[in-house]
Structure 1
């Protein structure tokens, strides 16, 4: 037994409900229904698209049946609209459900919805959440009442295609990653049919459906969507059995081999954060024992040694810049070294030692000579470092007298931490990179600084506000663009600061820029950096910041703020950066 989601949605969004929403959003009822009517087919198309792979269908079904989805929303919606808190919670829950169910960017959908209908961006953003919560609630109510299972999902989704085709535009289809509306319509049924053969189709357990099913809702408890009668349990089971038989014969011709298992996402490497950067895990991470592709590429063509000598005038000032050395070692033990030293003599000493240890053409060195750089004290201990430069997977960064180990160099069993402490002595600060501590330090810096933005005499200049916001950390999970709970408090404080400036008549316009490191597929990193930027923009808007004041863009591995040779450098490069507009 299937349903027409769009017909049920019209029942949920009754004239009285739409009128109440219109009053809340300051629109006419006709215009509110127009925006909701444009959002519904786009949302359903995104849901259908997610159900075209076995894993996608299972994830979608899990989201539909999750505790966040509200099967009672049909009669609960008028009650939720009566309070600002209830409506806000509904909108936020709906957007979160859509993100989990579809993988589509709700912020991008809202932008396209606003452009197509002429609605304010904030209104389109809010209504997308309400419509999303309603559709997911309708689906959960159906599967709960019929005791449905994931194998029935493709057929149910396919039944929604005529309604989707009637209203889905190319603009909205493109915004949610479906290409054109025609392309989506031409392929979706065959894809849903293919996936159905790979999903479970259990025999129903013969027992009566309970008169009511206690389920967690957004707030409170109210009657279910359609106010249906609960008698005649035998009729429910007859209809369910008939639906199962029909589905069996319809799908048995669709047997196909399941698509090759997708490449498993590699774990994110630990990383560090200095104040002024926002961390995020990348789309794909290299094995901890692998060096960046640049090292192996350089090996194939022989060692590359570059040195640029900065001319120093007779009256050059005293050096003020810390010397730098970082290296990473590939699987075969070939190192790639990056360094900044103050004199040509130091450059020569480093290159000669590397050549003696590894042989000509068996390492890559990129050395910059800058007269403003202080003497390289680590050169006195270079002989003790050279064996570590041959350890596959080792990563070391030295800035002045601070030495940081990561990768294989940080392995406690190898004992390099203690060896280097003995080698360098008490004049050097030597440690293993700790991502949790780095994040905690940066978060504390942000929370100390953001307090100043709430003072009545604080600056609302875009550059000043962005400087403070860039102290916080948004530490995304590997491959995810869902804002982590650990970042929620700081982003809420950021939203409060932006709203405070607006109330003082000094609104701030910002671009939310997403960046990645250089590890993994370049195109995938670029796409994920954009998704994360939109996710942060969406979250700030959900806290009351005007969408019109926030732009979002992803830049992939462009504009690195640190070397990608070490974990800490990659961590700093994976960031969300706020830029004043």
Structure 2
């Protein structure tokens, strides 16, 4: 059964939710509806486009069913919006999900929505995250409750086309990379139908038909299978009776000829007796076979489906020796990876740490391993793959070497492939922080230490190498942080925080520890200079302890070099 995601989205974004969002962003409810009404068709169209290839549909379905997507968002959204921190986390998660699911450039979409509706770009940016989180939750809830599978996804997406056509403008279509709205509408349905034929459509397991139920009418062309079985039911009874007689005499013979020797032999009569009882209850061999099939099918349904993305990351030292870390779902996938590495580099000429976890989804990147192996020999190369997301850094990101274009051609449209860019990462973090911190300036904002810390931790203070001087790019964010802390103190709710400094693991550990302490102290000093009470802030450095990401790629080291605010 299909759904209309637009109708469900209107239900999730109820009038109460819209009024809440309007108050948060200083908009009228009508303008808030206008913004969400522009965002929704653009996101659905981008998702339809991603689902119009086989690899894209698999990647999209994997993202929808991932643990990051909240299938209960329809019920939980009012609670999530009740705090500034909750709203901020929802926005960030939603933007990440639509980027991961459909490759949407959220900034470009926000620009287009702002130009079309008259709302501020920052507001459109924030509401895109909220709509994205709600949309993904609606899709997950549908597939979870209906036990759906990837083969149903293209059909479901195709059913949304009429609603998309009603609201999608050329400006919005262009912002999400679809060209014109007319060109998209004219081609996407055929592509969705085509890809549906190339995806698996598992059939539900057959169930035995109760004799007390009337046979179903399947159409004139359906053979009368049930009636034919009834005509020969005496044969099955006869076979069952013969099987019981043979089993009975075989059992008596076993008792006369051989005493019980051990526990295994002792259990044999019970097993035969159980077979006899089973035969008596079921009355026929076909029914027993059907019951066994049903039990097997039920067991397969109960087994939990894999939920986490497969992972591959590697770094290559100056001598061209790679160090590989991977998580796959089966021993066969592990063997495939290790065999390919051994064939390419030889025994003992690479370092590999491959983990098998049954909760991991199939590693689609294994199909493109031959194209990755040459990159694994490039000194200084760094690559990280999580599911269908590929990130290049180090020499792998060198535009002159052209690996970005090579991998895009190798992997195809089902994978999201990009180069880690520090400036963009800082800019995205800055935007997220500035959207969220506004909520700390309103009179009814939460001054709970955990809520304030979550918002302050959205900012990135990107120190220069070996420096503890506050960078100019972070000054305004820290001034806003001080403003929020002073507002809470003015309400009589001072927030006690630890300013914790961390580093990556590159270099000497003792040096990193000292530098992390200096940076934490620099941030504390800056905030105190802005009027925050020194008694509410404590600075401490922890070096490379407690990493939040692996240090084997540039993006991981970037995340680990951080200032973290901890509520005390």
**TM-score grouping bracket, smaller chain normalisation:** 0.3 to 0.5
Task: Name the TM-score, length of structure 2 as normaliser.
Answer: 0.47
Higher relative contact order (CA 8 A, sep 6+): 1
Q: Which has the higher helix share?
A: 2
So what's the TM-score if we normalise by structure 1?
A: 0.46
Larger Rg computed on CA atoms: 2
